[in-house]
């Protein structure tokens, strides 16, 4: 037995990378589940090739799964990785820049033969594992393919099938490296291959072989220990952003006691919401794959007219198509939830990359004065709460609501502490069952919140016509009267402003209520900003952090909170959008920090910019 | 003697709203409105269960004049609004009101998808071969050569044949009527409302301001008998001033025969069978404009085609029902929990 040392780590980021066919996603999610069960906090992010069947062995075909786990609270999938697992040369080439100096590369040398080197585009098929170009890193070479085959030499499986389990070898090796048990994966394999015991056996054999390889090989002298994180007590599950969002929509519809209608047209990265909702028809969910995004939103408005909660989701290009209908929903004053899982734009842009550049589109992307409330999710698990809140606002305030997410949190995942149905608040729709003015029904007679009644076809005495033409106040009849138009524009705007009374006051995420610098963030930048601010606060910097869920209307105290600081910095994955709104709304000299690379901020980037305010 | 007070039958007036009608005097839309208001009490629907959904155009103002539920939506999208409405409440009697521009230009996509999905609702397509509301540009049904504000040298667009288009989208009820023949229009509307599935009724409608007389050759009492034929299921295709002309099928080609010559009798004529997809297709293809003197194939009116096919909303609700049967009513706590949890104590 070699002499072993155990090194303790607070957090570790691992990136698994390989060909789409290498089982990367599965390896990553198994490691995730095992570590979560062990008690680590964790955050994950998968990346897929843009093409469905990109050529094997090429950079375009590389799939990745990054995970950050720790004995401390984790807020992002990690800036740079400590360990890069590469199944072939292309995976190394595509990801080397994500590895920390001094980080470890675990390379399957079978993926570095001449053919793979050529496909990956290494000049003259020079092998990076052999030419000393990786001197800044610790390279662990393993012939995974050969060792996998060896461990299955007694198996009757064909060579192809044997090779397919090589990801289990890597997983087993990492389990050894991080002192993890195999039990969770064993349970998973038993369920997955319940019908073919042979595959359970072979995968387990390879998994154990990988583990034992670490244990017996003289090469490895260090194992790592990442202790459980101080997570709040409770029962947890892993949640992907889009999944959390879909479940949040269902939960809200259930709490409103109304059917959920979801009209949608497939688009990356929003399609998973459609997939998830389509599976839950027994929750009174009616999902409809429409012929285009216009039909998706208009069918949802038709459904809302009929007393369902109409919802639709898309990404930038699809949201652009929905613009006219959004204006209609706004003037009709019907509930509607519109989700934008943002991606890089303009036009088709970077479909599989993340961006926050559709905020202005949500604010202003319509003709006429058409204010629509906007809320944004900050992390995969936060998609649940924001989805719930979007439905609540839409239904209780009779308005379309924008819910902004993005590809980064939509596809990312993290542990979510279970909520029970009983803990979720009830949502009360302003449904009306009988005339509201003697025998007459006045569809645009408002309550104290400025909200009109929701009268659903099928009720005698409430027959009424609504439409996109300007309406007379109270009666809803068509009116071209100039005074009336101005009045209606203001009434609709006031109704939205009053939503600020039903949302919580803004709180600081970190830092004191006054000081030198306040970082004001929104959406998926939360984790990176939180991590950066946490470090800086611990080091004594006068930095505070406000993260917005409610972007329009703003929480009522936001202006006052911001006024407590010498500087306000607004980091965004766009060319400066929230910062413009904050500047014009509050007349303060808020400064932008922009990144428009299709990639999330690293906490280092936030920190570097923030430090400039202290020189 | 019954002791239960009978609910008074509703009348056309009950279906008329208190809003002032704003169409130009003499517009064909008035007649269509009247016929619809007339047949609704006859078919026995109650006002609270009726929804009119329109797009944008002169014709699309229609819902405002109906004392039912209604939505004047956006240009071309009424079929999609109606789809969502129908999924949400399959029991409603839904009527889509649209124009030739609304349905066939900006909304062409939604129209064909509505037809193939076969929602149980009715589409009334007011075809005046012009854009009325925008004051007189040519439309997708305007004939080639049509001089309008936007085509001063004549239109070079080949027009749609709306019924053939509907058939191409596998519409299950395809009919044509006109504003100037209220009796036939009412017959067609009644049958459309009875059909379970998407009923498409194209209605020739005169825009007396921007396209007056577009259908005159079919509506004028001097020419109508020779230029039009009203087809009825199971009946031979006879037309003409003195019922003296008929349509025969020569292979797949319709030909006009003179019944007075003695060569052909009524028994030799084409007997309309609205369940025959192929023959209905031939009928829809009778689309040249015949001469006023009866030269050429007359323009057919009536119900061309009718087929029973499952409706989208029924299929969807069946799936929902099956999901309930298989999994039971959704348990929110179970959904929140998922199938892989761990506990931290
Ligand atoms: C998105 C959009 N584009 C253009 C218009 C202008 N517009 C209103 S009605 C119409 C054409 C209507 O023609 P048709 O459907 O034949 O109805 P008609 O007025 O003839 O009854 C147009 C182009 C509009 N309202 N919305
Ligand atoms: S413009 Fe034509 S279609 Fe429009 S209301 Fe006047 S006559 Fe009727
Ligand atoms: Mg028209």
Residue % of chain A over a pLDDT of 70: 100
If you average pLDDT over residues A423-438, what whole number do you get? 98
Does any ligand 1 atom lie closer than 6 A to the CB of residue B133?
Answer: yes
Tally: H helices and E strands in chain A: 21, 22
Fold held by A238-420 = Rossmann fold (3.40.50)
Does ligand 2 lie within 6 Å of residue B127's CB atom? no
Q: Which of A108, A76, A80, A110 is nearest to A96 (CA)?
A: A80
* A303 contacts on B by Cβ (under 8 Å): 84-85, 87-88
Nearest-CA residue for atom 8 of ligand 2? B27
pLDDT the model gives residue A33: 93
Query: What was the pLDDT predicted at B6?
Result: 63
pLDDT in tens, B85-133: 999 999 999 999 999 999 999 999 999 999 999 999 999 999 999 999 9
**B27, B33, B129, best to mutate for ligand 2 pocket (most atoms within 8 Å of CB):** B27
Q: Which of B30, B58, B127 to mutate to test the pocket of ligand 2 (most atoms within 8 A of CB)?
A: B58
Cβ(B134) – ligand 1 distance below 6 Å: yes
Q: What radius of gyration, in Å, describes the C-alpha atoms of chain A?
A: 27
Per DSSP, what are the bridge partners of residue A8? A225
User: A87-101, B47-61, B71-85, B280-294: which has the minimum mean pLDDT?
Assistant: B280-294
Q: Give the chain B residue whose CA is nearest to the CA of A456.
A: B69
Smallest-distance ligand from the CA of B98: 1
Which DSSP state fits B104? Answer: I
Question: What percent of chain A has pLDDT above 90?
Answer: 94
Expressed in angstroms and rounded, the spacing between residue A235 Cα and the centre of ligand 2 is: 66
ipTM value of the model?
0.97
- Number of neighbouring beta carbons within 10 Å of residue A100: 16
Closest by Cα among A566, A614, A557 to A591: A566
CATH class of A5-225: alpha beta
How many CB pairs (< 8 A) connect A and B? 200
For B77-91, the pLDDT digits (tens) are 999 999 999 999 999
Integer Cα distance of A323 and A303 in angstroms: 18
Ligand closest in space to the Cα of B29: 2
Nearest one of B47, B253, B280 to B176, comparing CA atoms: B280
Give A462's contacts in chain B (Cβ within 8 Å): 48
Residue A365: CA count within 13 A, CB half-sphere: 21
The average confidence (pLDDT) of chain A is 96
Cα–Cα distance, B17 to A365 (Å, whole number): 35
Tell whether ligand 2 has an atom less than 6 A from the beta carbon of residue B227.
no
Return left, alpha or beta for B243; rule: phi > 0 is left, psi -120 to 50 is alpha, else beta. Answer: left
Q: B200: CA distance to ligand 2 center in Å?
A: 22
> Within 10 A of A586 (CB to CB), how many other CB atoms are there?
16
Mean predicted confidence (pLDDT) in A519-525: 98
Q: Which residues of A469-481 are buried (b: 16+ CB within 10 A; e: fewer)?
A: eebbbebbbbbee
Percent of chain B with pLDDT over 90: 93
Compute the distance from residue B137 Cα to the ligand 3 centre, in Å: 9
Q: Residue A530: left if φ>0, alpha if ψ -120 to 50, beta else—which one?
A: alpha
A463 inside 8 A of chain B by CB: yes
pLDDT of residue B1: 41
Percent of chain B with pLDDT over 70: 97
Chain A residues with CB under 8 Å of B64 CB are: 465, 467, 478
pLDDT band at A52 (very low <50, low <70, confident <90, very high): confident
- For domain B12-225+274-283+297-313, the CATH class is alpha beta
Per-residue pLDDT of A87-117, as tens digits, reads 999 999 999 999 999 999 999 999 999 999 9
**Could you say which DSSP state residue B270 is in?**
P
Average pLDDT over residues A506-526: 98
* Sequential DSSP letters for A281-316: GGGTEEEEE-SSHHHHHHHHHHHHHTTSEEEEEE-H
Ligand whose nearest atom lies closest to the CA of B209: 2
The mean pLDDT value for A169-190 works out to 96
Which one-letter DSSP state was computed for residue A36?
A: H
What's the whole-number mean pLDDT along residues A334-346? 98
Which chain A residues are Cβ-neighbours of B110 within 8 angstroms?
291, 294-295
**Nearest in space to B77 (alpha carbons), one of A296, A184, A26, A59:** A296
Distance from the alpha carbon of residue B204 to the mean position of ligand 3, in angstroms: 10
Q: Determine whether the interchain pair B88/A465 forms a contact, defined as Cβ–Cβ distance below 8 Å.
A: no
Whether A34 and A27 have beta carbons less than 8 Å apart is answered as: no
Are the CB atoms for A400 and A326 separated by under 8 Å?
Answer: yes
Q: For residue range B183-194, what is the model confidence (pLDDT) as tens digits?
A: 999 999 999 999
**A73 contacts in chain B (CB < 8 Å):** none
Ligand nearest to the CA of B27: 2
Atom 4 (ligand 1) nearest CA = B75
Q: Is the pLDDT confidence value at B331 over 60? A: yes
Residue B207 CB less than 6 A away from ligand 2: yes
**H, E, C per residue of A511-562:** CCCCEEEEEEEEHHHHHHHHHHHHHHHHCCCCEEEEEECEEECCCCCHHHHH
CB-CB neighbors (< 8 A) of B46 in chain A: 460
Tell me, which fold does domain A515-614 have in CATH?
A: Rossmann fold (3.40.50)
- Across the interface, whether the CB atoms of B92 and A295 are under 8 A apart is answered no
For residue B210 and ligand 2, the question of a CB distance below 6 A is answered with yes
Which of B60, B61, B71, B345 is the mutation pick for testing A, counting most A CBs within 10 A?
A: B71
Of A155-169, A485-499, B280-294, highest mean pLDDT: A485-499
Domain positions in chain B: 12-225+274-283+297-313
- Report, as an integer, the average pLDDT of B210-224: 95
CA-CA distance, B218 to B289, in Å (whole number)? 9
A347 touches chain B (CB under 8 A): no
A263 has which bridge partners?
A288, A312
The predicted pLDDT at position B2 comes to: 44
Q: What is the pLDDT of residues B130-151, one digit of tens each?
A: 999 999 999 999 999 999 999 9
pLDDT in tens, A208-256: 999 999 989 877 778 999 999 999 999 999 999 999 999 999 999 999 9
Residue A128 is given by DSSP the state T
Half-sphere exposure of A469 (CA within 13 A, CB side): 19
How close is the nearest chain A Cα to the Cα of B318, in Å? Answer: 11
Asked if the C-beta of A283 comes within 8 angstroms of chain B's C-beta atoms, the answer is yes
From CA B35, how far away is CA B30, in angstroms rounded? 9
- For chain A, the structural domain boundaries read 5-225, 238-420, 515-614
A426 in B contact zone (CB under 8 Å): no
Kindly state the DSSP code that residue B299 receives in the 8-state scheme.
E
A138 φ/ψ angles, rounded to the nearest 5 degrees: -100, 115
Q: Is the CB of B62 under 6 A from ligand 1?
A: no
């Amino acid at each position: 037995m070699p002499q072993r040392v155990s090194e303790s780590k607070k957090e570790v980021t691992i990136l698994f990378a390989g060909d789409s066919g290498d089982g990367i996603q599965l390896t990553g999610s198994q490691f995730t589940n095992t570590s979560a069960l062990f008690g680590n906090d964790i955050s994950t992010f998968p990346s897929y090739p843009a093409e469905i069947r990109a050529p094997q062995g090429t950079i375009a075909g590389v799939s990745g799964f990054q995970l950050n786990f720790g004995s401390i609270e984790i807020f992002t999938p990690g800036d740079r990785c400590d360990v890069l697992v590469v199944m072939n040369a292309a995976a190394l080439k595509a990801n080397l820049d994500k590895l920390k100096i001094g980080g470890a590369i675990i390379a399957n040398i079978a993926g570095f033969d001449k053919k793979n080197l050529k496909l990956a585009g290494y000049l003259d098929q020079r092998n990076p594992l052999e030419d000393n170009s990786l001197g800044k890193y610790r390279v662990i070479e393993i012939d995974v393919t050969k060792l996998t085959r060896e461990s299955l030499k007694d198996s009757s499986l064909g060579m192809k099938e044997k090779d397919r389990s090589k990801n289990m070898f890597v997983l087993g090796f990492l389990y050894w490296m991080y002192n993890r048990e195999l039990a969770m994966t064993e349970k998973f394999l038993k369920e997955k291959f319940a019908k073919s015991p042979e595959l359970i056996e072979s995968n387990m054999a390879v998994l154990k072989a990988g583990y034992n390889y670490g244990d017996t090989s003289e090469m490895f002298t260090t194992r790592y220990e990442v202790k459980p994180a101080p997570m709040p007590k409770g029962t947890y599950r892993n949640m992907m952003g889009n999944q959390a969002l879909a479940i949040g929509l269902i939960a809200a519809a259930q709490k409103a006691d109304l059917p959920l209608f979801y009209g949608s047209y497939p688009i990356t990265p929003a399609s998973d919401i459609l997939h998830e909702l389509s599976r839950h028809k027994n929750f009174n969910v009616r999902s409809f794959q429409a012929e285009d995004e216009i039909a998706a939103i208009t069918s949802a408005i038709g459904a809302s007219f009929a007393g369902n909660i109409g919802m639709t989701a898309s990404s930038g290009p699809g949201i652009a198509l929905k613009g006219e209908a959004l204006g209609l929903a706004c003037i009709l004053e019907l509930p509607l939830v519109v989700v934008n899982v943002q991606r890089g734009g303009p036009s088709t842009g970077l479909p599989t990359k993340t961006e926050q550049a559709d905020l202005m589109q949500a604010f202003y992307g319509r003709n006429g004065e058409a204010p629509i409330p906007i809320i944004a999710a900050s992390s995969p698990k936060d998609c649940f709460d924001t989805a719930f809140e979007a439905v609540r606002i839409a239904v209780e305030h009779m308005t379309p609501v924008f819910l902004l997410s993005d590809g980064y949190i939509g596809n990312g995942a993290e542990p979510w502490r279970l909520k029970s149905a009983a803990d979720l608040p009830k949502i009360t729709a302003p449904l009306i069952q009988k005339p509201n003015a003697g025998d007459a029904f006045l569809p645009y007679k408002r309550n104290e919140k400025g909200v009109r009644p929701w009268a659903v076809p099928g009720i005698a005495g409430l027959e009424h016509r609504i439409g996109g033409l300007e309406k007379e106040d109270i009666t809803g009849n068509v009116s071209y009267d100039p005074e009336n138009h101005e009045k209606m524009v203001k009434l609709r705007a006031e109704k939205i402003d009053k939503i600020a009374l039903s949302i919580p006051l803004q709180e600081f995420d970190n830092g004191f209520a006054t000081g030198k610098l306040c970082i004001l963030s929104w959406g998926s930048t939360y984790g990176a900003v939180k991590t950066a601010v946490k470090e800086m606060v611990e080091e004594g910097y006068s930095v505070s952090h406000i993260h917005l869920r409610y972007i329009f209307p703003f929480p009522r105290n936001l202006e006052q909170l911001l006024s407590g600081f010498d500087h306000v910095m607004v980091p965004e994955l766009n060319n400066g959008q929230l910062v413009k709104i904050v500047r014009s709304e509050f007349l303060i000299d808020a400064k932008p920090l922009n990144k428009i690379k299709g990639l999330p901020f690293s906490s280092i980037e936030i920190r570097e910019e923030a430090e400039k305010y202290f020189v | 003697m019954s002791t239960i007070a009978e609910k008074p039958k509703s009348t056309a007036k009950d279906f008329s709203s208190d809003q002032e009608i704003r169409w130009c005097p003499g517009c064909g839309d008035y007649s269509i409105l009247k016929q619809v208001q007339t047949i609704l009490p006859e078919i026995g629907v109650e006002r609270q269960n009726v929804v009119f959904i329109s797009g944008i155009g002169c014709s699309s103002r229609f819902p405002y004049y109906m004392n039912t539920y209604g939505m004047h939506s956006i240009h071309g999208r009424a079929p999609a609004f109606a789809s969502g409405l129908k999924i949400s409440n399959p029991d409603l009697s839904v009527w889509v009101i649209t124009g030739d521009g609304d349905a066939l230009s900006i909304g062409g996509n939604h129209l064909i998808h509505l037809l193939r999905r076969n929602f149980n609702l009715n589409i009334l397509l007011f075809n005046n071969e012009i854009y009325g509301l925008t004051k007189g540009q040519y439309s997708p049904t305007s004939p080639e050569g049509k001089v309008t504000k936007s085509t001063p040298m004549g239109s070079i667009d080949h027009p749609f044949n709306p019924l053939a288009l509907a058939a191409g989208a596998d519409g299950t009820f395809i009919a044509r009527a006109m504003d100037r023949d209220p009796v036939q229009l009412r017959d067609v509307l009644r049958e459309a409302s009875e059909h379970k599935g998407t009923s498409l009724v194209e209605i020739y409608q005169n825009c007396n301001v921007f396209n007056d007389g577009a259908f005159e050759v079919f509506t004028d009492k001097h020419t109508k008998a020779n230029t039009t034929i009203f087809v009825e299921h199971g009946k031979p295709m006879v037309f003409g001033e003195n019922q003296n002309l008929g349509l025969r099928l020569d292979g797949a080609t319709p030909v006009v025969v003179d019944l007075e010559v003695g060569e052909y009798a009524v028994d030799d004529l084409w007997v309309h069978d609205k369940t025959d997809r192929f023959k209905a297709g031939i009928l829809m293809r009778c689309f040249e404009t015949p001469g006023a003197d009866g030269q050429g194939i007359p323009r057919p009116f009536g119900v061309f085609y009718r087929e029973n096919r499952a409706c989208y909303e029924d299929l969807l609700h069946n799936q929902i029902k099956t999901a309930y049967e298989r999994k039971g009513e959704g348990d929110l706590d179970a959904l929140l929990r998922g199938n892989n949890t761990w506990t931290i104590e």
